[in-house]
Amino acid sequence: MGGAFWLEWLPKAAVINFERIWAGSFLQTIAAVGSGDIIYVYLPLYHTSGFMMGLCGGIEKGLTLVLKRKFSTSQFWNDCRKYNVTVIQYIGEIMRYLCNTPKRDNDKDHKVRLAFGNGIRADVWVDFLQRFGDVRICECYGATEGNVGFVNYCGKVGAIGKEHFLYRMACQYALIRYDTEKEEPVRDSRGFCIEVPRGETGLLVAKIGKRAPFSGYAKNAQQTERKRMKDVFVKGDLYFNSGDLLKLDNEGFVFFQDRIGDTFR
């Protein structure tokens, strides 16, 4: 088998090759998931998180997968107890939904040791740990079609990732100044973008190349081209526009700030 295939759903259909599937499944390795774990996958398998990070990651590890047809707040922890689940996934507001369920005496009675995913708010993060016990949360950041991503392998509350010097060598990314009123990057007198200092919010862009390719969207050349930024730092360079405003602190932790209005996802 070779080439690429398409995962199509609204509002985007990203081109996914086998290398990208492997990269997505590798998150479980970064999160220290082992072959002896039991992972609970209830997210739809037409989505990157459920399919690549959950199902494919579990197959690559050779671990036990518990597949649920759909997410249920009332059945979630009972399922975890019934099947001795040790690893759970989350996305978006899932963790908040769990925290909003009525409190029970057995909230901490489970074997879940790790939760990985993306989109948990800092306040929900704290509430979840207080409510459900000592669960390590591994927050990550990325887009299905993107060529850049981060993982908060340290567990710092509120951060979507942490910089690593080896990843810096493989993926050239930057946070550039962005004018939210004009909805465009700020450029200097030479016409090049301006990288923001640590502590300031900027638009995440990543250089497109052999190590960090951007394949675009299936049958949508217009949106694919809109995601490509040219002449960012030097004449002729090409960068992927994430559409996300992020911030880096002095310790290298990455924090999500906002999403620009015209982001195609």
- Any idea where the domains of the chain sit in the sequence? 1-141, 162-265
Q: 1-141 is classed in which CATH architecture?
A: 3-Layer(aba) Sandwich (3.40)
Question: What average pLDDT does range 216-222 have in this prediction?
Answer: 89
Strand 136-141 relative to strand 114-118, pairing: parallel
Q: 40 - beta bridge partners?
A: 66, 88
pLDDT at 9 over 70: no
Question: What average pLDDT does range 57-86 have in this prediction?
Answer: 96
**Percent of all residues in the chain with a pLDDT value above 90, rounded to a whole number:** 77
Give exposure, 17-27, as e/b (b: 16+ Cβ within 10 Å): eeebbeebbbb
pTM of the model: 0.88
Using pLDDT thresholds of 50, 70 and 90, give the confidence band for residue 195: very high
Mean pLDDT of the chain: 91
CATH number of 162-265: 2.30.38.10
Question: What's the pLDDT at 46?
Answer: 86
